[in-house]
Structure 1
């Protein structure tokens, strides 16, 4: 079982935030990326490095995964993924961002083999039990603006 939970910004201790995920638009469309080792689509994001603050993680990962060189990042909320493993539950935390990209580098330098623009969330997702909830949360945020 997998469950996605949402929390207000700053309501979870910063050192518990392990991931940054960025729902990203470029020219009015959503950017999804394909990792070199997979044939599915995912939201740009990644692991926080040891001495990094979560906002720096988001900026670094956005560049590494999409080639974005000029962009705005807006923190949306903290999220967690709760998994049932045998009789134990584990919960890992990340921060969800919304980003609008103005400029993309034409060359991908890291682990991403392809980026693609979509009008809506694609069908072939790497994390189909998680990513639709993150996408929906960002849409709700944008509708309130």
Structure 2
């Protein structure tokens, strides 16, 4: 069983924040991306690089995965994914962000094949047991 846990900002040691995930809107619609190696939709985000702040990770990943040039980004909370009963599992943490994108440029030639705008969370998610909870968390804060 997978469970998504949420924590207030600054309550988990910064060095444990390994991922940044960005719920982003453009022209009032949610942006989801399709990785070149997958045929499913996911929230923009990715791994933190060495000597990078988690805020810098979020901004970098938002650009790399969507082509966002001008945007306002806000940290929302920290999250973890708990895999009950999994052997040798170590809880990992990420930080969830919300972004309002003002300007989209050409999609950089990195990992993402396609971006698409949605009114609501799409079907055919890469992480269907995780992404709906992240989406819902942002909706609760901004609605």
How would you bin the TM-score normalised by the shorter chain? Answer: over 0.9
Compared CA separation, residues 141 and 86, structure 1 to 2 (3 A):
closer
Instruction: Kindly indicate whether the alpha-carbon contact (under 8 Å) linking 2:32 and 2:42 is maintained by their aligned counterparts in 1.
Output: yes
The aligned residue for residue 29 of structure 1 is: 29
Instruction: Kindly indicate whether the alpha-carbon contact (under 8 Å) linking 2:20 and 2:58 is maintained by their aligned counterparts in 1.
Output: yes
Distance 1:134 1:107 in 2: 24
Is 1:43 aligned to residue 24 of structure 2?
no
Gaps of 5+ in 2: none
Structure 1 SS opposite 2:84: strand
- RMSD, aligned CA: 1.1
Q: TM-score, normalised by structure 2?
A: 0.96
Instruction: Kindly indicate whether the alpha-carbon contact (under 8 Å) linking 2:78 and 2:96 is maintained by their aligned counterparts in 1.
Output: yes
Q: TM-score, normalised by structure 1?
A: 0.95
Instruction: Kindly indicate whether the alpha-carbon contact (under 8 Å) linking 1:84 and 1:90 is maintained by their aligned counterparts in 2.
Output: no
Instruction: Kindly indicate whether the alpha-carbon contact (under 8 Å) linking 2:22 and 2:98 is maintained by their aligned counterparts in 1.
Output: yes
Gaps of 5+ in 1: none
CA deviation vs aligned residue, 1:94-142 (integer Å, no higher than 9, x gap):
0000000001112332110000000000011000000000000000110
